[in-house]
Amino acid sequence: MEIDFVITWVDMNDPEWQRDFANYSGKIDNTVNELSEARFRDYGLLKYWFRGVEKFTPWVRKIHFVTCGQKPDWLNNNNPKLNLVHHKDYIPHEFLPVFNSSLIEIYLHKIPDLSEHFVYFNDDFFIINHLPKERFFTDRIPNDIAAFRTNMGRSLWSKCLKNNIRIINQKFDKKEILSRDHDKWYNPIYGEKANLTYLLKPYHSFITLRTPHNAQPYLKTTFDEVWQYAGDKLTEMSKNKFRSPEDYTQELFRTWQICRSNFNPYNTYQDTKMFPLVFKSKKAIKAVREQSYKLVCLNDNQHIRNFDNMLKELKAAFNHILPEKSTFEL
């Protein structure tokens, strides 16, 4: 089984990107759309993402590096495993340029030469320990956790997750799905993460699923199915160059995949951890240095105190476990 990785990245210091961003963002209220420097800034850790991939997942077939035409100066684009993907290579021209990460994600299945089995990464997801193929796929099916969580939030992101669930409830019958896949939804491997699933057993509708917020395995055909069913809604969303409360997210595709029974029960929380750096930078640095998890998400925030010092310590932690250049670096 061939497995690809897909990672999206942006360099906000690029003058051309800055011109486009200023031109289009001036037409909307950026605060409402949750835009901040932290959403786009590159804090110099990308090379450690590539080092982690090469050292800890050497089995990957291809890395699809998705940008708006940007490339770090140090990146070796002659590496045979690297596929540089421009937004224009797979997103319809009429929707470009785009600054909406959700829009960039809903078209991933259109990336040229993408394998049927792929794992999607944001650029703040890092592999910090050895991972076999079977961490992401077993018997050619994605490994994932099917467990509900509350979504009482009023943020833009929370609204988008609710949009996803509306489509899921239109397509799937909760009682039928959970009866058919009882052992997958009520699997003891989830532990306390499944408490709400048991509590809501009598409830007839789906609610938002738990989101580990880390590397996500997908079947490319899942995207084809969702587009076939909800293509009109996704096309309408594609007009949103920036995040909007009317958006759908990649969680729509993940939830669809789970409802179609295309997953193996796996408690992804056992080896992944999301660290909001504004609150948990010291814990994040310690986790990286000690390789406490297999995968970590280092969630940036514009309000991080002593950012430069924190970043210096974080780079030192990465350099401790990944000191050698990868073949993806010049």
In a domain, 53, yes or no: yes
Instruction: State percent of the chain over pLDDT 70.
Output: 94
Above 70 in pLDDT, residue 20?
Answer: yes
In a domain, 328, yes or no: no
In angstroms, rounded to a whole number, what is the distance separating the alpha carbons of residues 171 and 154?
A: 25
In a domain, 329, yes or no: no
DSSP secondary structure code for residue 326 in this structure: P
In a domain, 56, yes or no: yes
Q: What is the pLDDT of residues 38-75, one digit of tens each?
A: 445 567 899 999 999 999 999 999 999 999 999 999 99
Strand order in the sheet with 125-127: 125-127, 295-299, 272-276
Above 50 in pLDDT, residue 33?
Answer: no
Residues in the chain: 330
In angstroms, rounded to a whole number, what is the distance separating the alpha carbons of residues 155 and 148?
A: 19
Confidence of residue 34 (pLDDT cuts 50, 70, 90): very low
In angstroms, rounded to a whole number, what is the distance separating the alpha carbons of residues 147 and 284?
A: 25
Judge if the upstream peptide bond of residue 97 is cis by omega within 30 degrees of 0.
yes
Q: What is the pLDDT of residues 110-126, one digit of tens each?
A: 999 999 999 999 999 99
Between residues 1 and 302, the one the model is more confident about: 1
In angstroms, rounded to a whole number, what is the distance separating the alpha carbons of residues 115 and 105?
A: 16
Task: Report the pLDDT value the prediction gives residue 41, as an integer from 0 to 100.
Answer: 55
Structure tokens at 223: 């995207």
In a domain, 253, yes or no: yes
Between residues 215 and 36, the one the model is more confident about: 215
DSSP run (H or E) holding 119: strand 117-121
Determine how many CB atoms are found less than 10 A away from the CB of residue 115.
19
Mean pLDDT calculated for residue range 197-211: 95
Mean pLDDT calculated for residue range 208-222: 95
Q: Are 247 and 100 in contact (CB under 8 A)?
A: yes
Task: Report the pLDDT value the prediction gives residue 132, as an integer from 0 to 100.
Answer: 98
DSSP secondary structure code for residue 214 in this structure: S
In a domain, 292, yes or no: yes
Cross-strand bridge partners of residue 218: 118
Structure tokens at 4: 């690809």
- Burial label for 50, CB within 10 Å (0-12, 13-18, 19+), is buried
Q: Which amino acid is at 198?
A: Y
In angstroms, rounded to a whole number, what is the distance separating the alpha carbons of residues 166 and 27?
A: 29
Domain with 197 in it: what CATH number? 3.90.550
* Number of structural domains in the chain: 1
Whole-prediction pTM: 0.94
On average, the pLDDT of the chain sits at 93
DSSP-assigned states of every residue in 196-216:
HHHHTTT--S--PBP---S-E
In a domain, 330, yes or no: no
In angstroms, rounded to a whole number, what is the distance separating the alpha carbons of residues 219 and 175?
A: 24
In angstroms, rounded to a whole number, what is the distance separating the alpha carbons of residues 298 and 123?
A: 9
Query: Which one, of 327, 311, 329, 328, lies nearest residue 45 by Cα?
Result: 311
In a domain, 327, yes or no: no
Domain with 292, as residue range(s), is: 3-321
* Angle between helices 220-237 and 156-171 in degrees, nearest 10: 120
DSSP secondary structure code for residue 325 in this structure: P
Q: What is the largest CA-CA distance in the chain?
A: 57
